[in-house]
Structures are given as C-alpha cells and as structure tokens.
Amino acid sequence: MKDLSIALDNRPGSLAAMGDALGRDGISIEGGGVWVVNGQAGAHFLFEDGAHARSALEAAGIKVLDERDVLIQRLNQTEPGQLGKLALQMAQAGVNIEVLYSDHNHQLILVVDDMKRGRAVSEAWTRAQAEGSR
C-alpha cells in the first residue's frame, strides 16, 4: 500500500476531477482524506498500487507531491487511549507521525519520518496485542 500526497485546487469540482481520473483508470481509493489549511487544499489517499494511481492523476493534470510507504495498524477499539499509547511508543523511539488516517477496513494508516524504527514499533505493538498485553 502507498500513501499519495496530492495537491488539489481549493474549489468546487477539484475532488470530483480527482475521483473521475482514478475511476476512469479503474483505481480504488483504500482510505484517506482531504483538508484545507490556510486556504490550500491537500489530500492523502491510500492506494494498493501507488505508481498506477500517480500515473492516472498526473495524466489528468493533478499534482502528486509524494508517494510513500505506510504502516498499517489495528487498534483495540474497545479500549480508550490506544492511539495515545501507540503514539507515545513511536515518540519514545524517535519516530514522528507525519500523517494519520483510517482505511476502509478500520485500520490506522501512518506515514512516518523513519520507516525502519516505525516498523519496529508497529511490529512490537502487533505482537503485544496478539499476546493480550495491551
């Protein structure tokens, strides 16, 4: 899975154009969202095939800023505080979470500044959850 960072025009129809470009190429979005900050629209979306999505978007004149690997994590939704605990473990490992959203399977998607250390934290978290210690 890949996260694409996408620059969108902050105007009606911009997101529709993006969706249309992807749909014409048979590309599904697996998760993500759009935000407007200081008048600028930006998006992060998750794709099974990032290169294919990037190609379709760029062919439609939509600017892709970045394509990055992601960490995929499942939190225990019945226990409050899971996000804080995971984020603290990332911070203690010196990992900055740069982007966070959910996919269509209710999994947490994280884009981090250090994939090696982030992956180690994520894998340890998964092992601990399997052992029931979270």
User: Last residue of a domain, which of 39, 68, 97?
Assistant: 68
Q: Which domain holds residue 91?
A: 71-131
CATH code at position 52: 3.30.70.260
User: Last residue of a domain, which of 40, 68, 96?
Assistant: 68
- 82/9 Cα distance (integer angstroms): 35
Residues 75 and 117 in one domain: yes
Going by pLDDT thresholds of 50, 70 and 90, the confidence category of residue 133 is low
Q: Provide mean pLDDT across the span 73-78.
A: 88
How many C-alpha atoms does 58 have within 13 Å on its Cβ side?
12
- 71/74 Cα distance (integer angstroms): 10
Structure tokens at 9: 């025009």
Residues 34 and 80 in one domain: no
CATH code at position 108: 3.30.70
pTM: 0.91
Residues 48 and 82 in one domain: no
What digits encode the pLDDT tens for the residues 21-66?
Answer: 999 999 999 999 999 999 999 999 999 999 999 999 999 999 999 9
Residues 61 and 11 in one domain: yes
Strand partners, 57: none
Q: How far apart are the first and last CA of the chain?
A: 26
Residues 29 and 58 in one domain: yes
Strand partners, 6: 43, 64
